[in-house]
Amino acid sequence: MANLYYREDLAAGQLAPGALVEVTGDEARHAVRVSRLRQGERILLGDGAGTLGAGVAEQVAKDRFAVRIERVEAAPEPTQRLVLVQALAKGDRDERAVEQATEFGVDEIVPWQAARSVSRWDGAGGSEKSAKGVAKWARVAREASKQSLRARVPRVASPVSFDDLCRMATAADAEVVALHPRSGRRLVAWAGGAAARSAQRIVLVVGPEGGFADGELDALEAAGASALVLGDTVLRTSSAGPAALAVLGAALGRW
């Protein structure tokens, strides 16, 4: 299986059959020093926005390489977007959720500081801490996209407030799903229904380690969100979103 590398600054048309495309900087150093890229190796090069070029590494130096593109494939924009709203969690659990959600096909990831989130981005440092958190999640999503050979890197959005979540639940083009074990309705049944198939966006909301506060879940349902359960067992905040994406991927024909 070919390794995938990205050059997000490529202009339209630069990934074309016959083109020799150079990669420099951190991406090239990682390819050469860590992945041990060698001249003559077949690799994939993408722009991170849906276009992949397959070719052969013709030039390899310690901090750069160039690939001769042989063929190009363009992945269409998804007609239905899967969005994960992930609560901040302690340790690296939220980052593990980002990594696995990317591997399972999420289109957008949105950080959310829930009432019971142990990790906080609104303390000392404020906007700077939040910006660093978003940047870290974006790096995790990018690396997971490379590992899973994704043509399109999912977008990591700015953090949303709880009021923002409630507004999402009122949007005509979106179906908001809060994953919670108190519900008697299963995601797998909902995913096969008309609401899931017709929504332009399906927004999965996952709480932190301590779960949703009662008031949060009540308010989301009042705004129009559906509270659904995955199964009989309770998953960690790091695995609930990816598991739900797997269910949706199968039910909606993505897999």
Longest CA–CA separation in the chain, Å: 59
For 226-236, the pLDDT digits (tens) are 999 999 998 99
Do 49 and 153 sit in the same domain of this protein? no
**3-class SS at 152?**
strand
* Tally of domains in the chain: 2
CATH number of the domain where residue 178 is located: 3.40.1280.10
- Same domain for 210 and 110: yes
Task: State the pLDDT at residue 126.
Answer: 67
Nearest to 50 by CA among 17, 8, 80: 8
Token pair in block for residue 182: 């108190």
The pLDDT of residue 112 = 96
- Which residue, 74, 108, 123, sits at the end of a domain? 74
The count of other CB atoms within 10 Å of the CB of residue 22 is 12
pLDDT in tens, 157-199: 999 999 999 999 999 999 999 999 888 899 999 999 999 999 9
- Phi first, then psi: give them for residue 245, nearest 5 degrees: -65, -35
Q: Which amino acid is at 100?
A: Q
pLDDT digits (tens, 9 = 90+) for 19-69: 999 999 999 999 999 999 999 999 999 999 999 999 999 999 989 999 999
> Could you give the CA distance from residue 27 to residue 10 in angstroms, rounded to a whole number?
14
Domain that holds residue 34: 3-74
The reply to whether 149 and 28 lie within a common domain is: no
Taking the complete model, does pTM exceed 0.75, yes or no? yes
Hey, what are 227's tokens? Answer: 């509270």
Residue 123, CA distances (Å) to 89, 119, 135, 149, 212 in order: 15, 10, 17, 36, 21
For residue range 196-233, list pLDDT tens digits in order.
999 999 999 999 999 999 899 999 999 999 999 999 99
What's 57's domain CATH number?
Answer: 2.40.240.20
The SS3 call for residue 232 is: coil
